[in-house]
Structure formats: structure tokens, C-alpha cells
Structure 1
Amino acid sequence: MPSLFLTGKPRIGKSTIIRKLVKYLQATYPETISTHGFYTSEVSDGPNKFRIGFDIITIDGQKGVLSRKKDYWTGSPFDNNAPRVGGYIVNLKEFERLAIPSITVHHNNEEEKFEKKKLDVIIIDEVGKMECFSNEFNEIVRNLVLKNNNVNNKSNDDIYVIGTVAMKHDGLAEEIRNKAGFGKISKGIKEDNKNLVILEVTYENRDYMVDNIVFELEKILDKGNF
């Protein structure tokens, strides 16, 4: 099953597109698409909307702290060895507690085997520097996107991954960009790499990007080969 990722400059609107997409899919395709995963959201403070960190929000409505600036850290004291990105302290335990189950599809209930088959869509927003501090997250995403292995009793052929990937970070983000043929020379869709495509979000195309993604999903639904 193909995977589709969005990339683009910081604050270009990738997560906004993901949120709009999830809302549309849940409202329009409740009988044919089952949506899982998570997205991230900026957290701001003060009248000038000073960014103090990021939250993680799962598709089923759970919410937690992904990162905060030191002066805005809440809850239990942070570990001085906690990973950091710039001035942000990453709450790795909270991220893994919410993200890992949300991107792991289980179909162990006997009744589910006889239900009308749905297309599983896993939302991963995003594959970036903060998220990739988690080795478990990296392994799951590699299996979903870069390999053909089975993940938790469900074949990758039954899962469509939609995510966002950092434009410049290395590690897993770079692996995904390279796999899709997205780089300095060739940006956008690589025609000979149909299992993994990357679309760059720009100010010019972001308003109709949800429509583009829905169009790709509808082609799969029409074929019914999932």
C-alpha cells in the first residue's frame, strides 16, 4: 500500500492540513476508512503568541506534552539528560505513551474479522527531530513505510500511511525523503517510486492539499484492493 508524506518549511501549514484531513475523513468515510495515529500542535503563550512548545494529540482524542521550553515545563521535574531540540525539552516518555499505540493497528477481536473491511489510515505528524529520539517509533515507522514486513498481525498492504516529514533533518526523516526520491535535485513526486511519495506544501498549494490527498485515497477505495 502506498504511503504519502507532506514536507515543507516550518509553519507552512502541514499539521493544519493533517487536522483538516482527519476531520474530513471521519465525517465523510466512517464506513470505509478507519483512522489512527497522531498529530502535533504548537503551544503558545502571551499576547504575542510566543511559542513555548508542542503537544501530541492522538486521533482518538488523547493529549499530552511533546516538548516545552524549560521555563514552561509542568508536571514532574524533567531529567537533565532529556533530549533537547534547540530550547525545547522533549518529553520522550509522554510521546511514546501516546504515539506508539496510536500508530500500531491491532485487529484481534473475532468480530472485527467479519466486519465490512475498512481501509486503515495511519496518521504520523510528524517524522521530525523530536519524534525520532524514540527508537521504538523509528522502528515502527521504518516497518510501515520503508519495509514490507508485517506489523502487529496486519499486513502493510492493508495500511495507508499519511504523514509529515521534516524537510532538512537527517536520520529517519532523511531515509524517507531519499526513498521517495525527494532531494535537492528532484522535489515532489518521483514517478518511478509509487509506493512512497512526498508532496511539498507551499503557500500556493496548501489550500487544496487536502483535496489532493482525498483524491488519492478515493482511487484506492474505488479499487477495493485493500
Structure 2
Amino acid sequence: MTMNWRQLGLTGVPGVGKTTLMRKIAQYLDEKEPSVRWCGFLTEEQKDWQSKRGRTGFEIVTFPKGNRYTLASCDESRGSTRNGKYPKVGKYFVHVESVDQCTRELRDAMIEIKPQLLFIDEIGKMELLSKDFIEFISAEVLDRKKATVFTIAQKCNHKLTDAFKSNEDVQIAIVTKDNRDSIFQDQIIPFLNQNFGG
């Protein structure tokens, strides 16, 4: 029996290639499905190429506006918070106000462009520190079953991520080093074609 999935989630260990797949989806939509209205965000790594520090944080990039917001950094002094303290996830200080700003942009886009597809990278520990983000994802994705492609943290003790993973209406694909090159053709393209008739 073929399931008519409306939502596709990509999960896997950090660094396995989930965001790279989301970039490929964005490129595919722009090139192959230009009539599809979509909005959302990518989470990009920030790295210090001048030293051996490696990854120094994360940045949110929104679509279609292309705004950039600092999601997390190793440096607590970057930016400001309402209460003067950043919550921490691992070694990173999380800029919750950036997630709030991104969520407001998504809410505006729901009115302005009436998207056919939501594009969320990711539903994870950092993003879920924002109450606004939780409310938006719960209302627009879980409750209304809006067509959505998203990444979701593999290990995250939160009722929202648990709700996605246990929902029979949501297809969850596990990205691994072995399948990350084939999963785009095997699962993502069929999902997009099924929903948008590519």
C-alpha cells in the first residue's frame, strides 16, 4: 500500500549530511518546481577558518527573504538577550531571540505568500528553547498537516519531537553515511513529486 505522506522528516547523527540534503531540496525546488510556493529556514555551521577552533556556532538563513540570524555561538558576548543570559546546549550559547525572529518571519510568510510547503532545518534542542517556535510548529505542521520537509534531532527529549516520531502520518527517514547519497532520489524526490506533481 502506498502512503500519501504530507510530511517528511530527516533524522540522523549530527554531521551526517541532513542540512546538505535540505540544500539540495531548496535547489531542486528553485530549478525543477519554480511554481511551488515555499518558505522556511536552513541552519548553517559557522567555522573559524583562521584557527583550529573548528565549528564556532550556527546561523539561521531564512527563505525566501534570505535574512540571517545567529542561532548559537561559543561566545556569550555576541548579541543580547532579554534576561541577560543565554541558555546553553552543549558548548553553545543559544540565541533564542533569533529563533523568535525567524518564527515571526515564518508567520508573516504564511499570510503573504500562502506557502504550499514548509521547509524547516531543524526541529532540535536549540530551536525548541523558543516557545514561539514550538507553538508555530505544533499549529502549522502537526495540527494542520501542512506539507513539510524538515530535519529533526535524533536524540531530543521533547514532547514535540516525540509527537513527530510517533505520528503515523509523518514519514521519518534516517540519514546515514551509507544512504545519504541515494536518499535524495529514493525518498525525497518521490515525496516532492507525490505532493507537487513533479
For the aligned pair, the TM-score class normalised by the smaller chain equals 0.7 to 0.9
Give 1:75 deviation, angstroms: 3.9
Which residue of structure 1 aligns with residue 183 of structure 2? 209
Which residue of structure 1 aligns with residue 37 of structure 2? 34
Which residue of structure 2 aligns with residue 144 of structure 1? 140
| 1:84 equivalenced with 2:94 (yes/no) | no
| 1:163 equivalenced with 2:159 (yes/no) | no
- In the alignment, the residues of structure 1 paired with residue 166 and residue 81 of structure 2 have an alpha-carbon distance, to the nearest angstrom, of 38
From 3, 6, 25, give the equivalent of 2:7.
3
Which residue of structure 2 aligns with residue 96 of structure 1? 100
- In the alignment, the residues of structure 1 paired with residue 81 and residue 143 of structure 2 have an alpha-carbon distance, to the nearest angstrom, of 38
Higher relative contact order, chain-length normalized (CA < 8 Å, sep 6+): 2
Residues 78, 41 of structure 1: alpha-carbon distance in 2 compared, 3 angstrom cutoff: farther
Which residue of structure 2 aligns with residue 220 of structure 1? 195
Corresponding residue SS for 2:43 = strand
- In the alignment, the residues of structure 2 paired with residue 49 and residue 70 of structure 1 have an alpha-carbon distance, to the nearest angstrom, of 12
From 64, 70, 75, give the equivalent of 1:65.
70
* 1:143-195 per-position Cα deviation (integer Å, ceiling 9, x unaligned): 233223xxxxxxx4xx311000000101122222122xxxxxxxxxxxxx2x2
- In the alignment, the residues of structure 1 paired with residue 183 and residue 55 of structure 2 have an alpha-carbon distance, to the nearest angstrom, of 25
- In the alignment, the residues of structure 1 paired with residue 197 and residue 123 of structure 2 have an alpha-carbon distance, to the nearest angstrom, of 29
Check the 8 A contact 2:141/2:148 in 1, yes or no: yes
Kindly tell me the number of residue pairs found equivalent between the two proteins: 190
From 176, 193, 197, give the equivalent of 2:164.
176
The one-letter amino acid of 1:65's match is T
From 10, 25, 28, give the equivalent of 1:24.
28
Corresponding residue SS for 1:170 = coil
Give 1:47 deviation, angstroms: 4.3
Corresponding residue SS for 2:34 = coil
* 1:75-124 per-position Cα deviation (integer Å, ceiling 9, x unaligned): 4478543221112111111221123322664346xxx8xxxxx9711111
The one-letter amino acid of 1:178's match is S
Check the 8 A contact 1:37/1:99 in 2, yes or no: no
- In the alignment, the residues of structure 2 paired with residue 165 and residue 124 of structure 1 have an alpha-carbon distance, to the nearest angstrom, of 9
Rg comparison, structure with higher value: 1
Structure 1: unaligned runs, 5 residues or longer: 113-117, 149-155, 180-192
Which residue of structure 1 aligns with residue 18 of structure 2? 14
The one-letter amino acid of 1:165's match is I
Q: CA RMSD in A?
A: 2.4
Give 1:222 deviation, angstroms: 3.2
Corresponding residue SS for 1:162 = strand
Check the 8 A contact 1:3/1:197 in 2, yes or no: yes
| 1:120 equivalenced with 2:124 (yes/no) | no
